[in-house]
Amino acid sequence: MTRPASTIPGDYMIPEDVLDITGPDPAPVWLNQTGGLTARFESEHRTRYLNRNPLPSTEDLELEATKLDWLHVRHPVPRVIEHRRRISAPARSNTSIPRICPAPMPSI
């Protein structure tokens, strides 16, 4: 069974809590089927990415951040620079890297 890749509708409105973190010009790069958003933005002269899930959500971004923290000393993966849980949604931002290598994740 195949699932279609996400596309972001042209009239998609970026949530205010994302704009509070990214500033006025984030570029949405992924919108999943549950409304989770990945946005690219510039901060401190670097490209960064922010992941945001609407609440309630079954995806645990805190667990994802923990896994990336564990993995970053072993493989080139995005380094989590901040994780926060807001009233309106959990959010995680990370730095951009040129490649991501797949690797086993730890059992947590």
Structural domains of the chain sorted by starting position, each given as residue range(s) with its CATH number in brackets: 16-95 (3.30.200.20)
Contacts of 16 (CB under 8 A, 6+ apart): none
Mean pLDDT throughout 55-83? 82
pLDDT for res 99: 30
Between CA 2 and CA 107 the distance in angstroms is 27
HSE-CB for 2 with a 13 A CA cutoff: 3
Predicted TM-score (pTM) of this structure:
0.68
Q: What letter represents residue 16's amino acid?
A: E
The answer to whether 70 touches 99, Cβ cutoff 8 Å, is no
* 17/2: higher pLDDT: 17
Radius of gyration of the chain (CA): 14
Higher pLDDT, 108 or 35: 35
